[in-house]
Structures are given as C-alpha cells and as structure tokens.
C-alpha cells in the first residue's frame, strides 16, 4: 500500500499562512498541524481532546481551527495542534469539508459524489 501526500496552505485569522505537505491519513478523523506550522501562523488552542494512537496509546492534544486551501478550494477546518515530532496529517473531517475522497486504488484524492435527499427537488 502506498502513501498519498498533497500540498496545501493553512492560515490563521492573523493573516499569517504556511504551505504544508500533508500525508492523507484515511484512519485520522482530524487534520494535524506540526507544532512549528501552527505556532508560525499564530493559531491559539481552543479546547483539548483525547485521541487514541494506532498502537492504542491514549493522548491528549489541543485543537483549534484554521483556514485551509487544497486544490484551489478554501474552507475552515478543525485541526489538532501537534507537538514536536508530529507529522502533518490530512484527516477525514477536512476531506469531507472539501468534498474530497481518497481513491484507495489510485492513491489520489478525487471529488466526492454529493448526495442530497429532499422532499421538493425543484
């Protein structure tokens, strides 16, 4: 199984922004920003959340929100504020916000097929 990386940009309300190379992690719920990235752009922690690592270890991390740009699309997304040694990960919540899905066979991101159920389609 191969790895999928995508280039993106993150920005805070301070106006500061950084380019980031994200590993697309289909097992991650939230996107993770390395400590140098979120500190450089001036993000502030908004709350703490508990997470479980792949090996079962329980950890706690601070969470915030930032503006992200992927493939010429811009939106806001929650992000985990990483600690030294944490790698940039692109999680499923962010992919859903951008209406993107990981193609597991081609190891690329593609537009999500959007469905909407309504009682009055016209």
User: Which CATH number fits the domain that encloses residue 106?
Assistant: 2.40.70.10
Provide the domain limits for residue 34: 5-111
- Which tops the pLDDT comparison, 103 or 7? 7
- What distance in Å separates the CA atoms of residue 55 and residue 53, rounded to the nearest whole number? 5
Residue 89: inside a domain, yes or no? yes
- What distance in Å separates the CA atoms of residue 107 and residue 122, rounded to the nearest whole number? 37
What confidence tens digit (pLDDT) does each residue in 79-89 have? 999 999 999 99
Predicted confidence (pLDDT) at residue 1 exceeds the cutoff of 70: no
Instruction: Tell me the backbone φ, ψ of residue 37, rounded to 5 degrees.
Output: -70, -55
- Asked if 32 contacts 80 with a C-beta cutoff of 8 angstroms, the reply is yes
Q: How would residue 122 be classed by pLDDT, with cut points 50, 70 and 90?
A: low
Predicted confidence (pLDDT) at residue 74 exceeds the cutoff of 90: yes
Please state the domain count of the chain: 1
In this structure, what DSSP letter does residue 86 have? Answer: P
Residue 102: inside a domain, yes or no? yes
In this structure, what DSSP letter does residue 105 have? Answer: T
- Asked if 25 contacts 44 with a C-beta cutoff of 8 angstroms, the reply is no
pTM above 0.75, yes or no: yes
Residue 122: inside a domain, yes or no? no
Average pLDDT score, the chain:
92
């Amino acid at each position: 199984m191969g790895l999928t990386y995508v280039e993106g940009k993150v920005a805070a309300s301070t106006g500061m922004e950084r380019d980031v190379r994200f590993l697309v992690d289909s097992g991650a719920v939230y996107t993770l920003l390395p400590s140098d990235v979120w500190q450089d752009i001036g993000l502030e922690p908004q709350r703490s959340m508990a997470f479980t690592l792949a090996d079962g270890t329980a950890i706690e991390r601070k969470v915030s929100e930032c503006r992200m740009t992927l493939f010429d699309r811009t939106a806001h997304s929650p992000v985990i504020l990483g600690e030294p040694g944490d790698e940039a990960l692109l999680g499923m919540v962010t992919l859903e916000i951008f209406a993107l899905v990981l193609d597991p066979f081609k190891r690329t991101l593609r537009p999500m097929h959007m469905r909407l159920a309504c009682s009055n389609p016209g």
